[in-house]
Amino acid sequence: SSAVTKSTKIVLNLESLGSLPADEAGPLARYASTIQAQRHDYNGKVLSIRAEDLKSLAIIYDMSPDELTTRLIEWGVLSPGADGSIYADVD
C-alpha cells in the first residue's frame, strides 16, 4: 500500500507549486525553496527531493507519507516518473 512513497523518486513540479494558495502549499513551498538554496539550484522547473524529506513534510502536514503523496498528486505538484509509475499504486 505504501509502494509509492517507498519506491518512487519524488519530483516536485515547481510551476504548479508556485500557483497554489499559500495557506495550503506554504510549508511545502518554503521547504522546496530551502533545498533549492542549499543546492544553488534555482532555475529548474522541477526539483527532486529525498524520500526522507517526504517523511519530514508528512509530519509538518500532520499526515501519513501516503496521505501527503495523494494530496501532492491532487495538487498537481508531484510529477509522474518517466513511465508514469507514480500513479500506479494510488488508492
**Closest separation in Å from C-beta 9 to ligand C2E:** 6
Q: Which is nearer to ligand C2E, 48 or 64 (CB)?
A: 48
d(CA 3, CA 78): 15
d(CA 84, CA 91): 15
Amino acid letter, 39: R
Return the C-alpha cell found at 39.
543546492
In contact, 10 and 51? CB cutoff 8 Å? yes
- Which x/- pattern, by CB under 6 A, does the window 31-50 give for ligand C2E? ----x--xx-x--x-xxxxx
Q: Which is nearer to ligand C2E, 25 or 79 (CB)?
A: 79
Chain residues binding ligand C2E by CB under 6 A are 9, 11, 35, 38-39, 41, 44, 46-51, 53
